Amino acid sequence: MKKMNNKLLLASVILLAGFLHVGCSSAKMGSAASNTTVLNNNWKFSNTVNGDAYSNNFNDDAWQTVTVPHDWAIYGPFDKKWDMQKVAIVQNGETEASEKTGRTGALPHIGTGWYRNTFTLPQFKVGKKALLVFDGAMSEPQVYLNGKKIGQWGYGYSYFYIDITNDIIAGKENILAVKLTNKEYSSRWYPGAGLYRNVSIVVKEPESFEQWGTYITTPVITKSAATINIKAKATGNTIYMVTTIKDAKGKVVATGTTKDFATKGFEQNITVANPNLWSPETPYLYTATTQLFADSTLKDEEITKFGIREIKYEANKGFSLNGKITKFKGVCLHHDLGPLGTAVNKAAMRRQLTILKDLGCNAIRSSHNMPSFEQLELADEMGFMFLAESFDEWVKPKVENGYHRFFDEYAEKDLVNLIRATRNHPCIVMWSSGNEVPDQYGAEGIVRAKFLQDIFHREDPTRPVTVGMDQVKQTMQSGFGSVLDIPGLNYRVHLYEEAYKSFPQGFILGSETASTVSSRGIYKFPVVQAKEKQYDDLQCSSYDLEACSWSNVPDEDFVLQDDKPWVIGEFVWTGFDYLGEPTPYDEKWPSRSSYFGMADLAGIPKDRFYLYRSRWNKEAETLHILPHWNWEGREGQTTPVFVYTNYDSAELFVNGKSMGIQKKSNASPQNRYRLMWMDVKYEPGTLKVVALDKNGKAVAQEEVKTAGAPYKIVLNPDRETITADGEDISFITVSVVDKNGLPCPTATNQLDFTVTGAGTYRAACNGDATSLEIFHEPTMKLFSGKLVVLVKATDKPGDIKLEVKGDGLQSGVVNLKSKS
């Protein structure tokens, strides 16, 4: 009884602390009062400079001209020498150091890079204010304006800004120079290199809102009304604030005016009648225009999209959204975008989220760092809950040159910027102050956990805080896990019950789960469940039964998610493959990207995608067969067939002959979630599965056929019309078929790409973790019969043509349009 009371008490504390929240997604836009200039173009870049390049007289004519966001390392070449690490990965249970050849992606990110931009700002006049804002700069940026050092930062993932009011020259050219340094042994995955997120300048009047100083919540929500609470910090005299709220159709639904300028700024409470609530199913967004006036003159304006929603975490009940118990069906995502590297691109992120929507995913964890503003804006718009993470290290190091070097000086500043810049996003439903930090051990770690959690609570008392814990036994004994608002368990499925009984919160989050490994379209025999399995081709079997020594296959998490109401959800490692961490081949070469994703590095779904989809996507039918049925040389040999489906039973046929009916059962975790025919003998022809309803009636079917030789190239774009903004991208899936139009699942043909018209060839990716082909070269081999080509729009509208050729193959052509 005492234990239960403790859990209920904590739930009450959580509610009193304010974890009932309405958020808003804040994107400051230019207006008559303030003006934002994004510095995308006319950058000069070099990573071969000896000495300093901040002087106005420095000659950068020979430097490369680039656009920002920019990742200098993604252009390669791949080579294990770039950041070869001889280490023991403690969090993976290693005790002896060994050579890790592809741990950070085998791309040339180590070293120093310089960026220079010459610009004028007509809107800046003497007497105004100007802020230089960095959304992210990898890494350790040192910033110079007109030959003078004006600021620096430590963490490459952090957003920060510098007041340049006294350093910018009005009416004349200004020269901005940024020095970035990536040290070796500074990351556990590919961090990218350069100005990989936006750089902008905000010009304001002296009377203005503080940067990231506006905070919107909803303390009261009913069916008939919602109270919108707006707090805004501002500077100036004789000022007052006016807010106008519009619905999704642009209709004004509420207004408010306040002239009470307290010490901490303005505060308004505005009522919105009959509110539409934000959720993953209905991501409804309102718009708030908040204006600052002085003597009836408009001085500043912020335009904020926000969503009204209520979150609650309760002992023994779990997480609820808008009063409905909701499980997190989440994925972890690193920040690289495959062949684009880490350079932010909204079209690439939108494609990822579109794929995840089809999966049935409803949540994302930014692993293990601050998410981009663009990703949060899309999550608000498309309907994804967000676990916004901050650090992979605190004071105790994982890597020699990791964040521990910055913690004492920067941890609070980094968190404040993270929270203030993003706390208005409705998608964010919890924060994470760390991932698998070695500080889990000992009393000092508890002090640090509380220190960071208190900062989150101070800056945003409406959301709880978690840490992804991998040393669960230690955190139970030390009390580290009890300090957290939400105890997050990374793997350790065998400890869930014990942790639930030990921790007082009354619920457990699977903050990182599964880490099953597979290569798209690659199948290994015999089909057995295994840990740390390796093969000569450095691939992993797509039967989805292989994991790492410290991780597990998906079904073990499914059981906990389905059977334990106190398990509030999971964030699977990972939604997409990413550059670096090629476990279980991190000691083998060539292997330079992960095998963990449900989709590969190109964004093409693997078989495991459909296993999760069969559980997560309740709105669509899933009926997926594996493996492919092209096994020359395996005739008569046992070739198991799995079916991932939302149906409970199905019958399998090989060339019309029944292999029997399989029904999901509780015999094992795999039997509960997969239909498996383990004794099928391979013979060329047709593999057909017929799904059955609860009455044994056939309701759906799917076929896989043995294909002949590759004959024709087929192109399938994700979008045929893109925007002529110089940034938008169409992703074209390229495959080959035989003379009968059947996909060739083992094809490895070398293909060449040509783009003409109002677009350019940007990159290609085939999803092969062992491929050393350069992404931006217009040629690449198919992997398991597929690859993806990225065609980028120019800033001129018009027709675009992609042609794909391969020796002995009928060429493929697709016509796209670029519109203003």
- Whether 17 is in a domain gets the answer no
Q: Using CA atoms, how far apart are residues 599 and 574, in angstroms rounded to an integer? A: 9
What pLDDT was estimated at residue 29?
37
Give me the number of domains the chain comprises.
5
In this structure, how many other beta carbons lie within 10 angstroms of the beta carbon of residue 647? 21
- Kindly give the interhelix angle for 407-422 and 373-382, rounded to the nearest 10 degrees: 30
Angle ∠(383,388,393) on CA atoms, nearest 5: 155
| Helix-then-strand count for the chain, H and E | 11, 49
- Whether 11 is in a domain gets the answer no
On whether both 192 and 240 belong to a single domain, the answer is no
On whether both 482 and 345 belong to a single domain, the answer is yes
DSSP string, 577-596: --BS--TT-TTSSS--B-S-
Residue 174 has pLDDT above 60, yes or no: yes
Residue labelled with tokens 């204006």: 291
On whether both 54 and 107 belong to a single domain, the answer is yes
Confidence of residue 26 (pLDDT cuts 50, 70, 90): very low
Confidence of residue 621 (pLDDT cuts 50, 70, 90): very high
Q: What is the mean pLDDT of residues 339-357?
A: 98
pLDDT in tens, 690-705: 999 999 999 999 999 9
Looking at the chain, how many residues does it have? 820
pLDDT in tens, 243-268: 999 999 999 999 999 998 877 799 99
Residues 6+ apart with CB under 8 A from 660: 651, 652, 677
- Whether 6 is in a domain gets the answer no
Confidence of residue 666 (pLDDT cuts 50, 70, 90): very high
Confidence of residue 3 (pLDDT cuts 50, 70, 90): very low
On whether both 698 and 718 belong to a single domain, the answer is no
On whether both 198 and 213 belong to a single domain, the answer is no
- Whether 622 is in a domain gets the answer no
On whether both 729 and 675 belong to a single domain, the answer is no
Last residue of some domain: 156, 176, 204? 204
- Whether 1 is in a domain gets the answer no
Q: What is the mean pLDDT of residues 35-42?
A: 95
On whether both 420 and 290 belong to a single domain, the answer is no
Q: Phi and psi for 367 in degrees, rounded to 5?
A: -115, 125
On whether both 301 and 375 belong to a single domain, the answer is no
On whether both 696 and 809 belong to a single domain, the answer is no
On whether both 134 and 158 belong to a single domain, the answer is yes
Q: Using CA atoms, how far apart are residues 472 and 560, in angstroms rounded to an integer? A: 17
pLDDT in tens, 390-427: 999 999 999 999 999 999 999 999 999 999 999 999 99
- Whether 670 is in a domain gets the answer yes
Tokens of 115: 């960026």
Grouping H, G, I as helix, E, B as strand and the rest as coil, residue 450 is helix
Residues carrying an active site annotation: 436, 512
- Whether 185 is in a domain gets the answer yes
Last residue of some domain: 616, 643, 658? 616
Residue 24 has pLDDT above 50, yes or no: no
Where are any strands of DSSP class E within 64-193? Answer: 64-66, 85-87, 98-100, 111-119, 129-134, 142-145, 148-152, 160-163, 174-182
Q: What is the mean pLDDT of residues 56-78?
A: 96
Tokens of 133: 């804002």
- Whether 433 is in a domain gets the answer yes
Q: What is the mean pLDDT of residues 195-219?
A: 96
Cβ contact 286:220 at 8 Å: no
Last residue of some domain: 169, 186, 204? 204
Residue 279 has pLDDT above 70, yes or no: yes
Confidence of residue 34 (pLDDT cuts 50, 70, 90): low
Residue 5 has pLDDT above 50, yes or no: no
Residue 699: which domain range?
631-705
Do you find a cis peptide bond into 218, omega within 30 degrees of 0? no
On whether both 135 and 175 belong to a single domain, the answer is yes
Tokens of 285: 């967004």
Residue 332 has pLDDT above 70, yes or no: yes
Task: Give percent of the chain with pLDDT exceeding 70.
Answer: 95
Q: What CATH number did the domain enclosing 661 receive?
A: 2.60.40.10
In this structure, how many other beta carbons lie within 10 angstroms of the beta carbon of residue 446? 20
What pLDDT was estimated at residue 33?
55
Q: What CATH number did the domain enclosing 195 receive?
A: 2.60.120.260
Q: What CATH number did the domain enclosing 464 receive?
A: 3.20.20.80
Tell me, rounded to whole angstroms, the distance of Cα 214 from its chain centroid: 25
On whether both 147 and 69 belong to a single domain, the answer is yes
Confidence of residue 86 (pLDDT cuts 50, 70, 90): confident
87-101, 152-166, 739-753: range with lowest mean pLDDT: 87-101
